Amino acid sequence: MARSHTGFRIVAALILLGIMAVVFTSLGNWQLDRAAERETIKAAIQTGRSTPALHLDAGTPAKELMPWRPAAAQGVWLHPLTVLLENRNYQGQPGYWVATPLLVDERSNSAVLVLRGWMPRPMRPGVAMPVVPTPGGLQNVSGQLLERVPRLFELMSLSKDDGSQLPSALPDAATPVPKVQNLDIDTYGKATGLRFLPTVLAQAGESGAVAADAQSGTPLQHEWPEPSLDSDKNRGYALQWFGFAAIAAGAWLVIAWRALRRKIKLPTL
């Protein structure tokens, strides 16, 4: 009975160590994949930013809309269609990203979705919401292109009445300035009736300075978060996981050898 119990523990240990070796190896490979992804993003950023600046209009080909490419557009702000993106922090302070369509061609109803900047969210009760700047007239807006509005992880509400959802039609009298977690260009286009270029323009400021309308509004910050590009950290994590896998594999070999030696009664060296 004791020998049977010992055999069971050996088999269980071998199974566990084998699983650990496989899992640790998989985690190491995953970290290498993450490192490769970050290297790809880094190359895309360098390529985009080194490409000549693009002028955006209704006829701009989609193939020219390269992420991270500098770009500029001329048009009119559609302030009634402004949307605030919630939970966007700047230097540790919670706030909003201001997203407003820039109408670049009235005849075709073509527009560019512009991330205009960041503004703070009031934290104390009774403090009024900041006023979004509403400059009028023809605007020249420059910045860099993004593939889409950067997303935040969003838990789906169990309630059918989710206040963070974009209204089905804009402008909406019940929600003059909607607040949402994430903003999809196609959904936004259906709600506004606009024909959006398949890109997002992150407006640039001068040396990270603030910009505000001379008439009214809260200054907007134009410092946009950069993606993490430290692929060396991922390679370091991969090396650790492969080290753990090697330890588990070594322990598996030691236990297997001892069990085999007992079974065939090999003499101890």
Residue in this structure with the two tokens 């030691």, named with its chain if needed: 254
Task: Please report, for residues 31, 86, 87, 156, 182, the alpha-carbon distance to residue 153 in angstroms, rounded to integers and kept in the order given.
Answer: 21, 12, 11, 10, 9
| pLDDT confidence of residue 213 | 46
Residues of the chain under the 50 pLDDT cut: 1, 155-163, 207-215, 269
| pLDDT confidence of residue 160 | 45
| pLDDT confidence of residue 217 | 62
| pLDDT confidence of residue 154 | 57
* Type and span of the H or E element at 36: helix 2-50
Cα gap 19→21, rounded to integer Å: 5
- Please state whether beta strands 210-211 and 110-120 pair in parallel, antiparallel, or not at all (unpaired): unpaired
Mapping DSSP to helix (H, G, I), strand (E, B) and coil, where does residue 249 land? helix
Q: DSSP secondary-structure letter at 214?
A: S
| pLDDT confidence of residue 125 | 78
| pLDDT confidence of residue 211 | 47
Single-letter amino acid, residue 157: S
Q: DSSP secondary-structure letter at 64?
A: G
DSSP line for 37-63: HHHHHHHHHHHHHHSPPEEE-TT--GG
| pLDDT confidence of residue 183 | 94
Asked if 247 contacts 239 with a C-beta cutoff of 8 angstroms, the reply is no
Cα gap 136→138, rounded to integer Å: 7
Cα gap 140→123, rounded to integer Å: 33
- Please state whether beta strands 70-77 and 138-146 pair in parallel, antiparallel, or not at all (unpaired): antiparallel
Mapping DSSP to helix (H, G, I), strand (E, B) and coil, where does residue 174 land? coil
Question: Beta strands of 86-227 (E only): which ranges?
Answer: 95-105, 110-120, 138-146, 179-180, 195-203, 210-211, 220-221
| pLDDT confidence of residue 58 | 94
| pLDDT confidence of residue 267 | 53
Give the end-to-end CA distance of the chain in Å, rounded to a whole number: 28
Cα gap 190→169, rounded to integer Å: 8
Single-letter amino acid, residue 189: G
* Type and span of the H or E element at 72: strand 70-77
Token pair in block for residue 269: 């060296």
| pLDDT confidence of residue 161 | 47
| pLDDT confidence of residue 5 | 62
Asked if 35 contacts 235 with a C-beta cutoff of 8 angstroms, the reply is yes
Domain boundaries, the chain: 2-44+230-264, 54-122+132-152+163-221
